[in-house]
Amino acid sequence: MQYSKKVINHFKNPKNQGIIKKADAIGEKGNPVCGDVMKIYLKIGVQENKKTHSTGSGQAKKQEYYIKDIKFETLGCVAAIAVSSALTEVVKGKTLDYALKINKNTIVKKLGGLPDVKIHCSMLGIEALREAINKFKNK
């Protein structure tokens, strides 16, 4: 199985690996077939959006939640660890709405491709991220 240089780099030097104590939300997904398990920790911040909306008494700035910090723990193959690392880089500092729109193609492209049999690994990270965001939103 051939991995891209980007995949190997993320596997050997994963970004944002670890845990966040007192995380605002945690998402976890696993695949019973391959045995991979991914856990995503989020620290959420609030930023004022530059866009304004009209209120009865004038203009008001809209507040948006964003991913202030993100960490992951992954037990899995080369692709699973690389996907987790790349995913955290793509969404760190971005709004929750942006992060919810990330799909497998975004991550696969960032990694310079994945073998077809490993594409499912990209979905585990995305599903864990979505679970964490939805838990935060439903608090």
Residue 34 annotated as catalytic = yes
Is the CB of residue 103 less than 8 Å from the CB of residue 85?
no
Secondary element (H or E) of residue 61: strand 58-75
Give me the catalytic one of 96, 121, 124, 132: 121
130: its two tokens: 């979505």
128: its two tokens: 């864990």
Give me the catalytic one of 30, 31, 34, 119: 34
**What DSSP state is assigned to residue 20?**
-
Q: Which residues are catalytic?
A: 34, 121
